[in-house]
Structure 1
């Protein structure tokens, strides 16, 4: 007959085995100097996997002593073993190291000595030839977009052109395009393209600094710039303006945008 002491030992062992086999969902986060989105997280033991979100966060089912593997092109492969503390805390933090691919040294061209005059003398090559060098007239201004070229070809209709029809000295294209509305349509298209180009230029150049002091969810930032571009004063306020003037315009629109968001939520 089993003694009470033996019974307790068996009970503890069975409880421990049950605890060891228990699978729970844990929250994890990956840290790295590089991007932490879409990193593969593989539970080799349980044969389940997931990927991290844009913040490096993930959830996955694990048990004690399960092996988790973290895999990414940008990072070194890392494997960890789930401990009792990980199960108790239901959270793990993993730091990944950058994957550095060293290439063999390749020397392209001549080796520079650091002496400017000697290096210039040793460099072979001729400067590129342009149309001025061969006496051909050329255009050096801004290249027109397809819509701008079409608008130029369509011409602009003016009422006084109708008088010139009697003498046959006026091209029909501007008149026909004006009456049919094609010229107006092309003007609107050029205006939209101008807005789009200006908006993307401002976004690429100023968005990083702007959102440091004017926080906005990443999912709303593109919508915010379209909100700015829809303003009737957008081109006049931002085209050929200093960064200070553009930022002042963006701050005014930022306040309006937040007010619209609050009104929509209500």
Structure 2
């Protein structure tokens, strides 16, 4: 009977000793970044899968056990891994200094390839006429012709050409086409 009591006592003391080391304590600290980073930092306790988001310069507090592992990460900062030591677990203030992450891009070289164009690739037929900006505006505005009045009988007369004829826009666009043609002739000479 005494051996049974002794074994039972040792088992109970062993459980007490084993689980007594798993005490959670609050760890307090602050995150600092050297280059004036404004943003937030994610703090992940990988042992308990607990996540906290803290703004840079603000203090934080986390519950942790001794030997827990924390990962401090942000988009533009280098990640820092911290294993909780006995000194940090006993209540010392934690100061995390994080560094900005440098994202080195590869060199981009832009070459001009005159052979690559819409016509060269066959997207647009080679003999297709290209209109100038003034010609495209005139086509959009529409040139009113008196024969268009017959469209009233069928109920399908476009109003844009009539309105543009009344307010003089069509006449201005035709003058602009003439001026544009003269400018192109000067450039060729």
Q: Give the structure with the higher percent strand.
A: 2
Query: Which interval holds the TM-score relative to the shorter structure?
Result: 0.3 to 0.5
Question: What TM-score do you get using the length of structure 2 for normalisation?
Answer: 0.46
